[in-house]
Amino acid sequence: MHNQHRVQIEAILDRLSKLRVLVVGDLILDEYRAGDVERVSPEAPVPIVRVLEANLALGGAANVARAAMSLGADCRLVGLAGVDREGDSLVSLVESLGISTSGILRTVDRPTTHKLRVVARGQQMLRLDREETEPIEVTIGERLRRTIADQIEGCDVVVLEDYDKGIFGDGLARWVIEFARRLEIEVVADPKCELARFRGASLVKPNLEEATRFVVGSGESFEARRNLLEKLQHELGGGDVVVTRGRFGMSGLDELGRGFDAPTRALEVYDVQGAGDTSIAALGLFRAAGASLLDACIVANAAAAVAVEKVGTAAVGSHEVRERLPGILAAYEEEQ
């Protein structure tokens, strides 16, 4: 059964290169400055970090697009960036992936969301954020709607990536879901806090904390998790619901009412950053390729397992997912 299941999943992995995905959401520029600490500052009781390395990386919806491309799909991206140096860097990184930047709207009214992390000896010591979290203005929302309408043609799935930086604060998610439904395109959503924004999506993927803020429930037993998933599904319009549970994997309930746990293997965790972006990309692509929700979760677990063993928002290739599949499948079958 194990080998047959693996062959079935790998056949779907082979089909991902035929898919086109549109990612809409909050674009983030991640910056890392890494070095050593050898002494304390004479100016204040803080360590002095001697910077040895500086790197820029894509975060948020931009990293979801990167993850989708790494898994083999063709990708389009829509989001906002400021008219600033960070916006220039973000656009340049997107271009380097071979993704069109025509869907990135530049605005003087909002800065590019930028997260600067200072790391010493493998330990994050400080993070500096520059961002605007207020809902976008009406005129910006209208520009985004026109851009999405232009970019969505020919896509197989839309991923909505919410980091609560304002892009979905004016009803944009509901508009995308309704627009895509008319075109018979699936929409999967990765919410940050306001799950109700994504009612009507084909699939919604909160983590356990986000889920229990939205409806009453817990994850203490399978029965409790199923009850939580059923409440979520009812509140979100009846589509697929997946709740991520960190090192315990995922729990899901598909639109036919079939519930399950999809456990993962114990991992050597270096950095959890970007694991969620990788998961939602895998879930959306596998569902669009015709996989069951369970198989989509198994692949998402495998992809996330690779992601957390890398530092920063590192891309995960389909070959790495294939290598990780046997262990994830074994973990699932041991629970049955």
Round to whole Å and give the CA distance between 7 and 10. Answer: 5
d(CA 236, CA 78): 24
The per-residue pLDDT for range 266-295, each reduced to its tens digit, is 555 444 556 789 999 999 999 999 999 999
Choose the catalytic residue: 30, 162, 261, 277. 277
Token pair, residue 305, equals 């397992």
Cα separations in angstroms, 293 against 171, 193, 260, 289: 27, 23, 10, 11
Domain locations in the chain? 2-335
Give the phi and the psi of residue 118 in degrees, each rounded to 5: -105, 125
> Which CATH superfamily hosts domain 2-335?
Ribokinase (3.40.1190.20)
Tokens of 152: 């969505």
Phi-psi category of residue 73: left, alpha or beta, with phi > 0 → left and psi -120 to 50 → alpha: beta
Verify whether residue 277 is a known catalytic residue. yes
Q: Give the per-residue pLDDT at 2.
A: 65
Q: What is the pLDDT of residue 330?
A: 80
Backbone angles phi, psi at 60, to 5 degrees: 65, -140
Question: Is the model more confident about 260 or about 336?
Answer: 260
Phi first, then psi, for residue 48 (nearest 5°) are -95, 120
Bridging pattern class, strands 27-40 and 47-60: antiparallel
Q: Which tokens hold the place of 12?
A: 């779907």
pLDDT at position 304: 87
Whether pLDDT at 297 is above 80: yes
Query: 87 pLDDT exceeds 90?
Result: yes
Sheet holding 47-60, edge to edge: 47-60, 27-40, 113-120, 123-130
Percent of the chain at pLDDT above 70?
95
pLDDT at res. 3: 77
Strand, helix or coil at 67? helix
